[in-house]
């Protein structure tokens, strides 16, 4: 083990960059393809109508806030499997993955009532009645996708941690293409299908997630039969279930705290009206697309940090952590340049040229993309820091940092700047900048100041 550790520790920065790229590029592609499912909904419903675009923006934001809390168990599987693989503990790989599936199913059952009866909740949050009703109709169908979507996340984390990233990419691409085809048929009534509008988008999301999980499970069972993921699946493993829960619950709350910042911003934009909410939906989709690159690099950081943690190789982790941080900064520079240089053409991709409200949406959206350019760098930094922290299985304190950054800084700042100071949508988005900056700075400080010292200790 010492010879292997030394060989890893001596890897050059260029070697780290190549290894991160080989591992991370398929993950980035997979995230982009997965993100394209929601992006396709936004683009096609933007062509269909502004009110439908506002409703799907609201409904999908609500769905993903609930989904991301439950995805903590899938995110926990990734570093646990990576650490077990690094330490050569094959049995732990099977145990952690199975209990990740168990917890995801249980969470989905608890979440369904919130998705089914969403309309009164959205009205309580101050949304316009017609938009809240349309969003609730969308969620009554799309909400059932929480089950296959969460299970798919667990299976993807399992495969990615074992560096089976190419299949993760291709399955995500298949899902994105399938979603686009079903959307095109059911939203607009093409190819002899009924014209269902936003209901068609909901059906497409449910079908896509169900097929995606079926495909990824079939691959995992065929390609890695030695792990026997479904053999005696009904038998509980309480000790491992508790470990996955203890690690996954803080990850879920961390992810929820960030997503709730963006969900709160969507709610606040809804208070400003349908057109500002539609502009927000487009701008947040563009910002989210660039974030998928940071998220893929973050996943690669988790896997490589988890391997190093399993081997007890601190030097390897430190050098790799610096390299992935620099790579993320480079991505941020590209995003900033695009958002500031060509906001109009980017926003126009989502709109019908003949829409009478197009110019107003472009005017509002241009200001939002300028704010998005401001938070690009810090959004990347918090994502990379969280990836590294999860690799060393440090999730408790990062959860506290995230909650304080997003709930005590970001959301209040959005409200104050947007409504108290009267800056409108631009003020709401400046609150996002404040929250993400606080998270990026303190999470990076946590990893480099304290958490990296955990490397060398046996994984919990």
Q: What is the C-alpha to C-alpha distance for residues 290 and 436, in angstroms, rounded to an integer?
A: 15
- State the pLDDT at residue 210: 92
Residue 36 clears pLDDT 80, i.e. is over it: no
Cβ contacts of 417 within 8 Å, gap of 6 or more? 423, 427, 428, 430, 431
Is residue 56 a part of any domain in this protein?
yes
Residue 8 — pLDDT band, cuts 50, 70, 90?
low
- State the pLDDT at residue 459: 40
Q: Determine contact, residues 44/285, Cβ cutoff 8 Å.
A: no
Q: What is the C-alpha to C-alpha distance for residues 136 and 127, in angstroms, rounded to an integer?
A: 12
- State the pLDDT at residue 329: 93
The model's pLDDT over 164-206, given as tens digits with 9 standing for 90+, comes to 888 888 988 898 899 999 989 998 989 988 888 888 989 998 9
Residue 145 clears pLDDT 60, i.e. is over it: yes
Residue 255 clears pLDDT 80, i.e. is over it: yes
Is residue 70 a part of any domain in this protein?
yes
Is the whole model's pTM more than 0.85, yes or no?
no
More confident: 194 or 8: 194
The model's pLDDT over 53-94, given as tens digits with 9 standing for 90+, comes to 788 878 887 888 888 889 889 989 988 998 888 777 888 888
Is residue 88 a part of any domain in this protein?
yes
Is residue 419 a part of any domain in this protein?
yes
Q: Determine contact, residues 20/297, Cβ cutoff 8 Å.
A: yes
Q: What is the C-alpha to C-alpha distance for residues 402 and 378, in angstroms, rounded to an integer?
A: 13
Is residue 45 a part of any domain in this protein?
yes
Residue 254, Cα to own-chain centre: how many angstroms? 12
Residue 10 — pLDDT band, cuts 50, 70, 90?
low
Q: Determine contact, residues 306/37, Cβ cutoff 8 Å.
A: no
Q: What is the C-alpha to C-alpha distance for residues 248 and 303, in angstroms, rounded to an integer?
A: 16
- State the pLDDT at residue 3: 36
Q: Determine contact, residues 251/299, Cβ cutoff 8 Å.
A: no
Per-state percent for the chain, helix, strand, coil, to nearest 5 = 85, 0, 15
Place of tokens 């998270």: 439
Mean pLDDT, rounded, of the chain:
86
Q: Determine contact, residues 139/116, Cβ cutoff 8 Å.
A: yes
- State the pLDDT at residue 6: 42
Is residue 460 a part of any domain in this protein?
no
Q: What is the C-alpha to C-alpha distance for residues 352 and 395, in angstroms, rounded to an integer?
A: 44
- State the pLDDT at residue 5: 38
Task: Give the range of the structural domain holding residue 137, as residue numbers without chain letter.
Answer: 9-454
CA distances from 398 to 250, 254, 460 (A): 8, 7, 17
The model's pLDDT over 313-328, given as tens digits with 9 standing for 90+, comes to 888 888 889 999 999 9
Residue 298 — pLDDT band, cuts 50, 70, 90?
very high
Sign of the four-CA dihedral 63, 293, 397, 125: negative
The model's pLDDT over 302-313, given as tens digits with 9 standing for 90+, comes to 989 888 888 888
Number of folded domains that form the chain: 1
What DSSP state is assigned to residue 455? B
DSSP string covering 283-324: HHHHHHHHHHHHHHHHHHHHHHHHHHHHHT-HHHHHHHHHHH
Residue 108 — pLDDT band, cuts 50, 70, 90?
very high
Kindly report the backbone phi and psi dihedral angles of residue 455, in degrees, each rounded to the nearest multiple of 5, phi listed first: -70, 130
Average pLDDT over residues 391-417: 93
């Amino acid at each position: 083990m010492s010879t292997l550790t030394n060989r890893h520790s001596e890897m050059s920065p260029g070697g780290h960059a190549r290894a991160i790229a080989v591992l991370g590029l398929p993950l980035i592609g997979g995230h982009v393809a997965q993100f394209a499912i929601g992006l396709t909904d936004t683009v096609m419903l933007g062509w269909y109508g502004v009110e439908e675009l506002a409703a799907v923006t609201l409904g999908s934001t609500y769905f993903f806030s609930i989904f991301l809390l439950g995805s903590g168990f899938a995110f926990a599987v990734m570093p646990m499997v990576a650490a077990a693989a690094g330490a050569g503990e094959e049995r732990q790989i099977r145990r952690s993955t199975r209990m990740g599936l168990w917890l995801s199913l249980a969470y989905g059952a608890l979440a369904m009532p919130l998705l089914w009866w969403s309309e009164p909740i959205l009205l309580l949050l101050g949304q316009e009645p017609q938009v809240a009703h349309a969003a609730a109709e969308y969620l009554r169908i799309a909400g059932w996708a929480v089950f296959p979507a969460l299970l798919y996340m667990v299976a993807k984390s399992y495969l990615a941690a074992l560096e089976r990233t190419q299949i993760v990419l291709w399955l995500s691409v298949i899902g994105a293409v399938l979603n686009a085809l079903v959307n095109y048929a059911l939203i607009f009534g093409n190819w002899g299908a009924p014209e269902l509008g936003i209901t068609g988008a909901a059906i497409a999301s449910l079908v896509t997630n169900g097929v995606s999980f079926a495909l990824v499970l079939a691959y995992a069972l065929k390609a890695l039969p030695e792990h026997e993921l479904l053999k005696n699946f009904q038998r509980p493993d309480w000790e491992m279930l508790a470990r996955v829960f203890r690690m996954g619950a803080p990850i879920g709350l961390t992810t929820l705290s960030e997503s709730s910042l963006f969900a709160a911003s969507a709610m606040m934009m809804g208070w400003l009206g349908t057109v500002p909410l539609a502009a927000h939906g487009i701008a947040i989709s563009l910002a989210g697309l660039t974030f998928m690159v940071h998220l893929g690099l973050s996943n690669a950081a988790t896997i490589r940090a988890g391997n190093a943690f399993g081997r007890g190789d601190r030097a390897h982790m430190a050098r790799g952590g610096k390299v992935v941080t620099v790579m993320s900064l480079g991505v941020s520079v590209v995003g900033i340049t695009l958002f500031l240089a060509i906001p109009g053409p980017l926003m126009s991709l989502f709109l019908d040229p003949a829409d009478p409200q197009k110019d107003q949406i472009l005017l509002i959206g241009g200001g939002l993309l300028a704010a998005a350019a401001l938070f690009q760098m810090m959004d990347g930094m918090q994502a990379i820091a969280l990836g590294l922290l999860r690799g060393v299985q440090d999730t408790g304190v990062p959860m506290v940092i995230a909650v304080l950054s997003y709930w005590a800084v970001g959301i209040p700042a959005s409200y104050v700047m947007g409504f108290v100071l009267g800056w409108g949508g631009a003020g709401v988005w400046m609150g996002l900048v404040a929250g993400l900056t606080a998270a990026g700075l303190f999470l990076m400080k946590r990893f480099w100041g304290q958490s990296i010292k955990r490397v060398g200790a046996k994984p919990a």
